[in-house]
Structure 1
Amino acid sequence: MAVITLAGEQLIAQKQKAKQPLIISEFVLAYVPDLNNSVTPSRAQALPPDNNIVFRHAPTRSAYVNDNEVVYSLILDNTVGNFQFNWLGLLSEEGVLISANHMVVQSKRKNNPSIHEEGNNLTRNFLLKFSGAKAITQLTVTPETWQFNYEMELREMRLLLAQNSVGLITNQRHLVEQQGENLRIDTLHRELENKFEKALSQLSDTAAQLDERVSRMNEQRSAMDIIFLTALLKSQQSVIVQEGELMQLTQLVRQKGAEH
């Protein structure tokens, strides 16, 4: 809800009487605690205290609507912020508060690349309505003219936002791909470790089996050696016995030959 202040009304009258232009030089944004926007603003008010003012800027665009209405526009892109406001005013080049508007609390955020947070874009149009507004403000363009330019700016801003978004998405995609590649490498590494551990286990089992087989073969060889040695001893013993018997038989034959 906007009103023309008493000081603004007085300045307008003075300008019209002197045939001097009224120049709106500044938008003023402020956050006023406990401001009731449902109540008509006081026309006797002045600028809020400095510690309540959050932003000041010249109008981005201005135009006449008809002979008795002019409009001023403030475009805040996503490089402006961060602050909240619920009070909006138009200031003349003399520093006089011409008009004030009370509203619900608005938030203005700027881009924060460090946390990938995008800011918001805000446009605020302020309509001044009084007799002879077009003549005293000396505005010669209609809103259609600068609104067209504003649409161009919006398209450029949207294009820039889209490009930034594409860049962010591309970076995120590369990060995800890198993380995926790292995950695949980790998975492959774990699989190789498991296969290596399994191979070591199998090799250990095989070595144990070989040791057991060698041990059995050694035992079998020892047993065969004992059997062979025993058989050899028995064979030699038999030969000795046979030789003894042969010697006895030879002596007996000799004795009988001597008797004849």
Structure 2
Amino acid sequence: MALPTPRPGDQSADGLLTQADLPAGWHLASRFPGERPDDASDEIDRVLGYDDHATGEAADSEQNETVDGRWRYIEHEGTATRVMIRLQRQLYATPEEVRITGVIYLPWRPGDPITSHLLRELPTAKIEAAINKRLFAMKRIATVTGNKILLPSGRKISDRDLLKSLGNPKQVPDFYELVALQHGKLSSQGDENPSATMAGINGVALSTAQGWVAKARSRGLLPPGRRGRAG
């Protein structure tokens, strides 16, 4: 899915990165990288040889996940450090996830050395986390109406129903939406392994509950899981 065409000179117009996604002390410049009035991300990729391994038909394939990466220019207010980060939507296994897939670091004064300490201070993980939290929150806001949760089928359930058995996935409408809501409810209560708790609530094997959660993630109903973390 191609990203929306941004307004001339406005890096935040497509909603991929906003000022609110940046930690304190960092600023999202209104202009695009290179002082350009338009988005030069494709040109930057070409100059860097970012996708040199994909040529011909492979480069144009829908399976080429480097397509539509977007470079965004941020500045550190205290040190005037200039950084370009490449934001890439992950379109397949986890449609709504955005990852930082490239960094260009420019010191305040041209010619100053780059040290590993300076690179470690770049808040890439915090920026990624903020972007994904915002995107997923936007997707879920419209489902909650008052004290009821409105499901896509039109069915309404109460918050307390989320901790009851979900039933048969082949017979229950909105089953994977319910899986996502139950998982989210348990996670918000501090459950460190919500899939295991879900298996107990629903009277199924752990592998079955994990399969439900994986399918909910693949549909964009849950954020992507983190490596090394249960549930």
TM range (shorter): under 0.3
Structure showing the higher helix proportion among its residues: 1
| TM-score, L = length of structure 2 | 0.25
- Give the alignment's TM-score, normalised by structure 1: 0.23
Looking at both structures, which has the greater relative contact order when contacts are Cα pairs under 8 Å and sequence separation is at least 6? 1
More strand by share: 1
